[in-house]
Structure 1
C-alpha cells in the first residue's frame, strides 16, 4: 500500500490516458483538475520524486523521469532531479 492520495493517482492516470480523451494536455488538466498547467507540472514533478509513486506506477513514473531528465539535458543544464 502507498501513501499516494487519490489526486496523486489521478495525476498519474492522466499522464497515461489524456490523449485518448482530450485534444490537448492543457485541456485535460483544466477539465480534470481545474488547475493551470503550471500548477499541474509542479505537482507532477514533486510526485515523480515520491518513492510511493515509483512503487505504485513504475512504468509511468520511469518514463516521465526519463523525459524530465532528457529535457534538462537538452537545456544544457543538469537537473536537480537527475542522478549524479
Structure 2
C-alpha cells in the first residue's frame, strides 16, 4: 500500500502516481503506471476489442482530472 494516502496510487503496484510519470489506462484497472501494464494485451478502451497496436501513454500530470478538487489551472 502507498505511504501517500492523499495521492492517487497505481492499482497494480500501489505506488503513487506522480505528475511526471508515464501512465496508461487499463480497461479494468483504470490509470496505472505504463510499466505495470507492459506485456498486457492492448484493447480499444471504448469497445474492449483487441487493437494489436502499442498502448497509449501519457504523463499523469497532463490530465486535468488528476488535479485535486478546487485547484485552479495555472
TM-score (norm. length: structure 1): 0.23
TM-score (norm. length: structure 2): 0.25
Higher helix share: 1
Higher strand share: 2
